[in-house]
Amino acid sequence: MSTDAPVVCWFEEVNKGSVDLVGGKCSSLGELINAGIRVPPGFAVTTEGYRRFMDEANISGKIFKRLEGLDHEDMAALESASEEIRGMIEAAPFSIDFQDDVGEYYRQLSTICSRPAVPVAVRSSATAEDLPDASFAGQQDTFLWVRGIDDVLDYTKKCFSSLFTGRAISYRIKMDFPHDQVAISVGVQKMANSHTAGVMFTINPTNGDRSSMMINASFGFGEAVVSGEVTPDEFLVNKISMETLDRTITRKEVYYTVNYETQSSHCIEVPHERQSIQSIVDEEVLELAKMGKLIEQHYGRPMDIEWAVDADMPAEANIFILQARPETVWSSKKKEPVAKKGTAMDHILSSLMKGQKVS
């Protein structure tokens, strides 16, 4: 990579061709912004920033030496190596120039959002997240409701070190993927204060039907769904007519929202009278479906999308896309040849040729 590569850049300055610079998540966010999709603003600490940090800390050689000879099934040895490596990374200091660069972008982001020390998500974005024959997605860390430049820098370093979790090391060894061929970027993005959040598949995930899409939704942040504490509402939408074909409204007893004193999320009970009502209104279902369809058309393939309805924003501009990645379950299946459907005359002729009595 050229030494002219930036240490920090805005999401809108990158696109799907920028994976080597900002990893899978951040390049996808930049691609969405440039395609006209509403995404919370933010910036990326680039892989160049990661490499400069590692070079200045002079620890790469020690890390790769520690990884030699590990067995991907020996989790005790992997976790021991991980703890050692992550400790090395998190103990190394950032240079003054690095701190100044990230600090200036964070200040500008706070100005854009009209909030001093704006709360952000600090998200890992590795360069090998969604390869055709392997998926490294979800193996690195994400930190939510981070506020203040000191914490942004601290969690950026934790994201760097999460490239070497025991799970990530094991997977790379298993897939025969060289440790020195993967790098990491970190996205710093305005936190969506989610009134409702969920996921959307631009394909029916139950049967692979590409003419419909599935939207899952629950109150608050997505944590209650991810943890299994809540079963989300489910909406099946026809992509042609944009009609809601089916809806399942569940009982949602808890949700996660922000604790403004600690700037972190916490779980609270949904008021009894609201537990069984629809978590998003029909207009929001339609708006999400339109956005999902645009994203699928832009990428030319079924997509797996995270979204949120931001309580801080006006109703006409409050739905944000947090992440979009290719759907991998049905898209990777080989299409079975469709049997030709015979006419009534074909059936009669076939039966006559076999000497069967046609009833």
Helix, strand, coil proportions of the chain in percent (round to 5)? 40, 25, 35
CATH classification of 8-190 is 3.30.1490.20, yes or no? Answer: yes
Cα dihedral 9, 15, 16, 21, rounded to 10, equals -20
Extract the tokens encoding 206.
Answer: 């139950």
Q: What is the pLDDT of residue 128?
A: 66
Q: What is the pLDDT of residue 132?
A: 41
Of 248, 186, 251, 192, give the one whose Cα is nearest residue 224. 251
Extract the tokens encoding 251.
Answer: 């009982």
Q: How far apart are CA 269 and CA 224, in angstroms?
A: 11
Q: What is the pLDDT of residue 335?
A: 55
Extract the tokens encoding 140.
Answer: 């690195």
Of 259, 66, 277, give the one whose Cα is nearest residue 180. 66
CATH code for residues 194-326: 3.30.470.20
Q: What is the pLDDT of residue 137?
A: 47
Kindly give, in sequence order, each residue whose CB lies less than 8 Å from that of residue 115, ignoring residues fewer than 6 positions away: none
Q: What is the pLDDT of residue 182?
A: 83
Of 101, 135, 102, give the one whose Cα is nearest residue 25. 135
Q: What is the torsional sign of CA 239, 242, 247, 252?
A: positive
Q: How far apart are CA 134 and CA 173, in angstroms?
A: 12
pLDDT tens by residue, the chain, 359 residues: 446 899 999 999 999 899 999 998 999 899 999 999 999 999 999 999 999 999 999 999 999 999 999 999 999 999 999 999 999 999 999 999 999 999 999 999 999 998 999 999 999 998 864 444 444 444 567 898 999 999 999 999 999 999 999 999 999 999 888 888 888 999 999 999 899 999 999 999 999 999 999 999 999 998 888 788 999 999 999 999 999 999 999 999 999 998 888 878 899 999 999 999 999 999 999 999 999 999 999 999 999 999 999 988 887 789 999 988 888 887 666 555 444 555 555 554 455 445 554 44
Q: How far apart are CA 77 and CA 111, in angstroms?
A: 46
The label of the residue with tokens 């890390």 reads: 63
Does 194-326 match 8-190 at the fold level?
no
Task: For the beta carbon of residue 110, count every other beta carbon within 10 angstroms.
Answer: 19
3-state secondary structure 169-224: HHHHHHCCCCHHHCCEEEEEEECCCEEEEEEEECCCCCCCCCCEEEEEEEECCCHH
Q: What is the pLDDT of residue 336?
A: 52
Of 328, 327, 191, give the one whose Cα is nearest residue 260. 191
Query: In the chain, where are the structural domains located?
Result: 8-190, 194-326
Burial track 323-332 (b if 16+ CB lie within 10 A, e otherwise) = bbbbbeebee
